[in-house]
């Protein structure tokens, strides 16, 4: 028996030695027990010496496979053959499709100075264009002038699309004059976060390595907005590769306080909308990138359900978490833009063809509205503003139900799902060392996160997604008993949890800090039920005037 064991060990050592010799002959350092032992420490496991010896050949073969696969060129637009599904087991969704209903709108007389319309809602501007009180070209020239005047100070614009904008505006005016009115976005100027591709214009992703990048196609969202008649006036800033408000040209500013960044990563989209430089903007969110800048700048944002809006033509950061949504000045503006951009495009496999049956005519008494009691009770900042939201809802007949988020699983520890996917999306950037070109090089920035993510084991990534499945089911159990819930925007695990589960969110202003900058509250809805979510959030917004206040801009 001992001879057999010794013989087996001798054979293994011979194989290992031969592999080491081959590796050395090829100029590659061989994997040793010490390498494995060090890796064990990083991943929190411990193997025996015999187990380490047995692994060496497999690890050498895996490393050879990695090297081979890295010869395959993978564009950021290539998604994995694994598809995240946010729908809990056994759940069916509404299929009946009805046309959305928009609220009646009061239209003011056309002012002598068109700048006085800079902060008007999409709904009002659309009605003025429909009635031919103003032209799209007039409106477009006004916003282009404001972008040129205030954009440099706010550092919120990457590229003005002036030629395209004027061409689209004139086309809109011709169509409307001929009686071919496309709807409430026809002729409305807007800006898009510069991670969405646009033909003939740069798409920089806010990052130095890509500052001259041209992707010669329009993203699906851009195409859908063009079909709705909207007018693209600017590509707006984002924190480099969708993190924060620092991009290759500087730091995007909060129009309420130029000493502050506008937060991110939809930094320019929120800043430009809050400053009245566009009628609305398109942002994206993976983990807070609509909620956070909307909070800082006092805009109203919609983060849709995962799988609602096509990401074709958008920079990929996390295939299982990225979402695209509108940043506007009112809740109903978000509904109008959302209606135009949803639905399958035949390219993005993550999309669901679910109806959006919006109507503002909702009775809060008939709905089950929850609130995250622990987060309201424990709030250390903005508590009075938070509590005022509950008071406003109760005054409108809502019977609020205290709830708590599921706590069976460590949600915060699932965050490395995003890190792993982002590192894969920018694998070539890391391996080429061009990540050194990114402006932010601190520990808590993409270059370091991408490198550290290389050490996340595939097994742990998959296990984390299995825990994510359990969290999704827990959220479904919670949402069976309520239609919508309200929460402090950064309360507890809510922001990360709902981005992981794919639930929709509306964020809107609910007050101001002592320094005069905006604060926010968030409403969370059921999967694919943005209609109810927006209607409830609109009830609160209509009862307050925070969204009607605007910053004083510096030239």
Torsion sign across C-alpha atoms 56, 58, 60, 66: negative
Is the link from the previous residue into 265 a cis peptide, with omega within 30 of 0? yes
Write out the two tokens for 429. Answer: 């950037």
pLDDT attached to residue 27: 64
Catalytically annotated residue among 30, 121, 265, 294: 265
pLDDT attached to residue 26: 57
Query: What domains appear along the chain, each with residue ranges and CATH number?
Result: 2-69 (no CATH), 117-408+461-548 (3.90.1300.10)
The DSSP-derived string for 19-59 is HHHHHHHTT-PPP-HHHHHHHHHHHT----HHHHHHHHHHH
The count of C-alpha atoms lying within 13 angstroms of the C-alpha of 427, restricted to the half-sphere facing its C-beta, is 19
Nearest-CA neighbor of 413 among 503, 504, 488, 493?
493
CA distance 337 to 332: 9
* Per-10-residue mean pLDDT, the chain, length 555: 41 43 60 96 95 95 94 95 92 88 95 98 98 98 98 98 98 98 98 98 98 97 98 99 98 98 98 99 98 98 98 98 98 98 96 96 97 96 97 98 96 97 98 97 96 97 97 96 97 98 98 97 98 98 98 93
The DSSP-derived string for 364-394 is GGGS-EEEEHHHHHH-SSSHHHHHHHHHHHH
CA distance 287 to 317: 11
Catalytically annotated residue among 121, 193, 263, 419: 193
Does residue 522 carry a catalytic annotation? no
CA distance 115 to 166: 18
What residues does 231 pair with on adjacent strands?
Answer: 189
What residues does 193 pair with on adjacent strands?
Answer: 236
518 touches 509 (CB < 8 A): yes
Catalytically annotated residue among 262, 266, 289, 520: 289
pLDDT attached to residue 78: 96
Does residue 294 carry a catalytic annotation? no
DSSP assigned state of 17: H
Cα separation values, 297 from 277, 285, 508, Å: 13, 16, 10
CB proximity list for 352: less than 8 A, separation 6 or greater: 87, 307, 308, 344, 528
Write out the two tokens for 352. Answer: 């669901």
CA distance 168 to 280: 16
β-pairing, 369-372 vs 484-488, is parallel
DSSP assigned state of 376: H
Does residue 193 carry a catalytic annotation? yes
CA distance 504 to 285: 11
- Give this prediction's pTM: 0.93
């Amino acid at each position: 028996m001992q001879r057999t064991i010794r013989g087996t060990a001798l054979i293994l050592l011979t194989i290992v030695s031969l592999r080491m010799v081959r590796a050395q002959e090829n100029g590659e350092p061989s994997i040793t027990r010490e390498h494995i032992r060090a890796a064990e420490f990083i991943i929190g496991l411990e193997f025996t010496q015999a187990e380490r010896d047995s692994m060496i050949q497999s690890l050498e073969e895996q490393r050879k496979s990695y090297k081979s696969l890295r010869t395959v060129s993978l564009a950021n637009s290539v998604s994995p053959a694994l598809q995240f599904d946010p729908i809990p087991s056994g759940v069916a969704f509404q299929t009946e499709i009805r046309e959305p209903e928009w609220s009646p709108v009061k239209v003011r007389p056309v002012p002598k100075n068109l700048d006085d319309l800079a902060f008007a809602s999409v709904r009002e501007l659309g009605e003025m264009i429909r009635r031919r009180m103003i032209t799209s070209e007039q409106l477009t020239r006004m916003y282009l002038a404001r972008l040129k005047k205030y954009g440099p100070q706010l550092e919120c614009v990457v590229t003005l699309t002036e030629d395209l904008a004027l061409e689209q505006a004139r086309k809109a005016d011709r169509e409307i004059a001929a009686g071919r009115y496309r709807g409430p976005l026809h002729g409305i100027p807007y800006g898009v976060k510069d991670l969405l591709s646009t033909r003939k214009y740069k798409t920089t992703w806010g990052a130095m390595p890509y500052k001259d990048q041209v992707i010669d196609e329009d993203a699906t969202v851009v195409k859908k907005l063009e079909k709705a008649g909207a007018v693209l006036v600017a590509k707006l800033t984002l924190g480099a590769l969708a993190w924060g408000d620092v991009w290759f040209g500087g730091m995007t500013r909060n129009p309420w306080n130029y000493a502050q960044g506008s937060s991110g990563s939809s930094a320019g989209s929120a800043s430009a909308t809050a400053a009245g430089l566009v009628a609305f903007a398109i942002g994206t969110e993976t983990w807070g990138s609509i909620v956070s800048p909307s909070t800082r700048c006092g805009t109203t944002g919609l983060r849709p359900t995962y799988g609602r809006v096509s990401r074709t033509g958008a920079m990929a950061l996390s295939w299982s978490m990225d979402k695209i949504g509108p940043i506007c000045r009112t809740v109903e503006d978000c509904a109008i833009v959302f209606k135009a951009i949803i639905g399958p495009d035949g390219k993005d496999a993550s999309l669901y063809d679910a109806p959006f049956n919006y109507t503002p005519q909702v009775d809060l008494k008939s709905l089950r509205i929850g609130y995250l009691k622990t987060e309201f009770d424990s709030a250390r900042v903005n508590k009075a503003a938070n509590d005022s939201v509950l008071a406003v809802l109760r005054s409108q007949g809502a019977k609020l139900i205290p709830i708590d988020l599921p706590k069976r699983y460590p949600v915060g520890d699932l965050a490395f799902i995003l890190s792993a996917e982002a590192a894969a999306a920018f694998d070539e950037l890391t391996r080429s060392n061009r990540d050194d070109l990114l402006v932010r090089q601190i520990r808590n920035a993409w270059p370091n996160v991408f490198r550290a993510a290389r050490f996340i084991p595939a097994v742990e990534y998959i296990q984390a997604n299995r825990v994510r499945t359990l969290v999704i089911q827990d959220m479904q159990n919670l949402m069976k008993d309520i239609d919508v819930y309200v929460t402090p925007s950064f309360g507890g695990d809510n922001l990360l949890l709902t981005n992981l589960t794919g639930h929709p969110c509306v964020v809107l202003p609910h007050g101001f800090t002592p320094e005069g900058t905006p604060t926010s509250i968030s409403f969370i809805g059921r999967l694919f039920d943005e209609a109810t979510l927006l209607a409830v959030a609109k009830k609160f917004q209509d009862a307050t005037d925070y969204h009607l206040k605007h910053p004083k801009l510096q030239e």
